[in-house]
């Protein structure tokens, strides 16, 4: 029987129980039990082939879990319907740079799901798009083709697409791969700002140990095979901010 882990202040957003997954005869995820709570920032580190992307694809419903149970917002994933609550940015290498769409069209596509697949774009949807473009500071390139952009600009566009529904959960799969170090630092600063100041839970696969450890701590909270989970809880941020305020006033 599935028993959710419940915290009075921080409700579970993702609950994984006894998750296992194999490629052919090689098991990459074995008996994983892990809970992501409201406003957590979870960084996932692991070598190539460790199962990081596989795990994310199971969480967003693109891949069935081999064994075990996954719940999103308290619902078994097979019955979960509120996908507008989840923003997902897949790996950049899954994108076709020749795709004939503008930045605005790509961002607007984040509003379409099974509930409103054939809905016409109305004024409210355009405003949602404008807001997402503004947050990502890409209003000035809204009319450009997505394939014409730099790697950093493309990632901002995909992040705007994931944010257009103002999701409660944002899932990022190596969002800084293929972009220069300065742009990576700016992108990660933007993500950490969102975690600090917006009511959002984040789950991010990254290859950048320095950035992960710098924000989430040097020691993983949990390991599973070759995957390591680094976690920073929202209450830790709030406690630090209170301490900083007390120090400035003393």
Chunked mean pLDDT (size 10), the chain, 250 residues: 47 95 85 94 92 94 88 94 91 70 91 63 89 91 91 88 92 85 83 85 91 91 94 66 48
**Nearest partner of 40 among 240, 245, 242, 236, judged by Cα:** 236
Burial class (CB in 10 A: 0-12, 13-18, 19+), 55: buried
pTM metric for this prediction: 0.83
The reply to whether 74 falls in a domain is yes
Cβ-contact 54, 67 below 8 angstroms: no
The reply to whether 59 falls in a domain is yes
The reply to whether 111 falls in a domain is yes
Which pLDDT does position 137 carry in this prediction? 87
- The Cα–Cα gap between 35 and 13 comes to 8
Which pLDDT does position 178 carry in this prediction? 75
Structural domain of 227: 12-237
Per the structure, the count of domains in the chain is 1
Which pLDDT does position 26 carry in this prediction? 82
Helices (H) and strands (E) in the chain, counts: 7, 10
CATH number at residue 188: 3.40.50.300
Which pLDDT does position 4 carry in this prediction? 42
């Amino acid at each position: 029987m599935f028993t959710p882990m419940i915290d009075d202040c921080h409700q579970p957003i993702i609950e994984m129980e006894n998750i296992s997954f194999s490629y052919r005869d090689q098991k990459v995820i074995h008996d994983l039990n892990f809970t992501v709570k409201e406003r957590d920032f979870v960084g996932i580190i692991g070598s190539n082939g460790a199962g990081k992307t596989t795990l994310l694809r199971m969480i967003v419903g693109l891949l069935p879990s081999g064994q075990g149970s996954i719940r999103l917002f308290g619902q078994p994933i097979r019955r979960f319907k509120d996908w507008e609550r989840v923003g997902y940015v897949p790996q950049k290498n899954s994108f076709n740079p020749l795709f004939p769409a503008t930045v605005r069209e790509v961002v607007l596509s984040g509003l379409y799901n099974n509930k409103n697949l054939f809905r016409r774009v109305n004024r409210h949807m355009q405003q949602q798009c404008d807001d997402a473009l503004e947050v990502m500071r890409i209003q000035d390139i809204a009319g450009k083709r997505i394939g014409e952009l730099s790697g950093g600009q493309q990632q901002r566009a995909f992040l705007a697409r994931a944010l257009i529904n103002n999701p409660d959960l944002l899932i990022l799969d190596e969002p800084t791969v293929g972009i220069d170090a300065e742009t990576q630092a700016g992108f990660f600063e933007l993500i950490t700002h969102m975690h600090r100041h917006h009511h959002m839970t984040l789950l991010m696969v990254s290859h950048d140990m320095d950035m992960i450890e710098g924000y989430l701590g040097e020691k993983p909270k949990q390991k599973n095979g070759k995957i390591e989970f680094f976690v920073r809880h929202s209450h830790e941020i709030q406690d630090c901010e209170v301490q900083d305020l007390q120090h400035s006033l003393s």
